[in-house]
Amino acid sequence: MPMERESDACDQHAESTGLVSPSWDCSLHLPLWVSNAEKAAIEDRLEGWIKQLEASGGDVACIASALKKPLRPLWVSQKSVIWLNEVPGYDSWDFTPIMLVSASSSCGILQQRTTSEFSWTYIAGAGDDEESWARGLSPNLFWSHAHELIDSGPDLCNQKVADIVEKDRVYRAQRGQNAPQLSVKPSKLSGSTDHFPAENSPLGLGISGAENDRKDSVDLHAISWLGSTNLAVGATQHAADASDVDSALVCERESSSLCLEYPEVYLHLPILNSKLDRFSLYRNLPAALIFAKSNLRKGNRLLVCCNDGEDISVCVCLAILTSFYTNEGSFDDGKSFSETCITKLEMRRRLVFICKFAVNARPSRGNLKQVFNFLKDQSVGSGC
């Protein structure tokens, strides 16, 4: 499947309906605390960002044709004050809101930035590094229990999260799935730690009803085939049950029994998360590419898997696609890569291609950076 192909149906719909209504307000909207100078700097860059988005390979026309109103971001932090009885009805808004939520609290040395009229507090890492604030709650678990969590209120929310996470962990452990014991440090910002589990203590108290939470552990996209590339990405726990797989590359700390049983077509690489080792993926990519190239040359269908199927395995697939495939998604044994200087735009295009099929992909910035640096070094080595 070509990486740049867009949906014909969406294009036809866009032509017939028009992507932008004449009544749409398409001007730039920013929070009040953004200065005029910064707003002007953003406006100067908008056209360039639009061109990058169009060149990324994403099916922009299909998404745009589904919009009834223009998109507009709204910013919410822990200091935001929202009166629920004063929030207008959604139908009365002339835009489609995108809620940008900062879950972080300001702490330590505050960086106060001030304009002539407004000021705000800089929150480092806001919205990033969910490991530090999500308390083990995955997106699937959150959406399965969203109303319960909201109804529990701020005083009981942390304990509710702990109960949900522990029930899910027990359910997976009973079925032999990867289920590491999690621990959460008490918050240093809160005046009370009554609802925070002590450090190194298990999350949650009860495990009853774990069977009822089975749907929380079911991954509807366990194995994702990337078009017609003979490449698939997914979680290790589903590798043994995957159909039409000729070879597998396991990218996680623990070795899989499959690797020991079929050493010719299974390879285990103990790749660590970038937060534990900033160069682990970089060091293991040469072996991963050699193994992938050997199997893809034979026409084998290759599954690349890791613990969650969302980060490391996605990044390894990105390296394989960039190294051995053309822009159209055809295997060429690395010929096009040897003639191309790798850029971030090219990486982004191929990552978008992967995400079209692996919809739960969530590659981390640290691992993506390792892939880019590795491929860039390879390009330089080939005379780029």
What gap in Å lies between CA 183 and CA 135, rounded to an integer?
8
* Domains in the chain: boundaries: 8-128, 132-217, 223-381
Between the alpha carbon of residue 5 and those of residues 56, 193, 318, 329, the distances in Å are 11, 53, 18, 11
239 neighbors 248 (Cβ within 8 angstroms):
yes
The pLDDT of residue 42 is: 93
The pLDDT of residue 45 is: 94
Rg (CA), the chain: 24
pLDDT in tens, the chain (384 residues): 444 444 444 444 444 444 556 778 888 888 877 888 999 999 999 999 988 888 887 888 888 888 888 888 888 877 777 777 777 887 888 898 888 877 666 554 445 555 445 555 555 555 555 666 677 888 888 899 999 998 888 888 888 998 998 888 888 777 776 666 555 544 443 333 333 233 333 333 222 333 334 333 334 457 889 999 999 999 888 777 777 888 889 998 877 655 545 556 889 999 998 888 889 999 999 999 999 999 999 999 999 999 888 999 999 999 999 999 998 889 998 898 888 888 888 888 899 999 989 988 989 999 999 999 999 988 755 556
- Which residues are CB-contacts of 16 (< 8 A; sequence separation ≥ 6)? none
User: For residue 381, which amino acid is it?
Assistant: G
What gap in Å lies between CA 292 and CA 280, rounded to an integer?
18
Residues 238, 234, 308, 323, CA torsion sign: positive
The pLDDT of residue 329 is: 85
Length of the chain in residues, anyone?
A: 384
Structure tokens at 340: 């191309």
What gap in Å lies between CA 107 and CA 111, rounded to an integer?
10
The pLDDT of residue 319 is: 95
The pLDDT of residue 204 is: 30
CA atoms within 13 A on the CB side of 291: 25
For domain 223-381, the CATH class is alpha beta
pTM recorded for the entire structure? 0.61
The pLDDT of residue 19 is: 55
The pLDDT of residue 382 is: 53
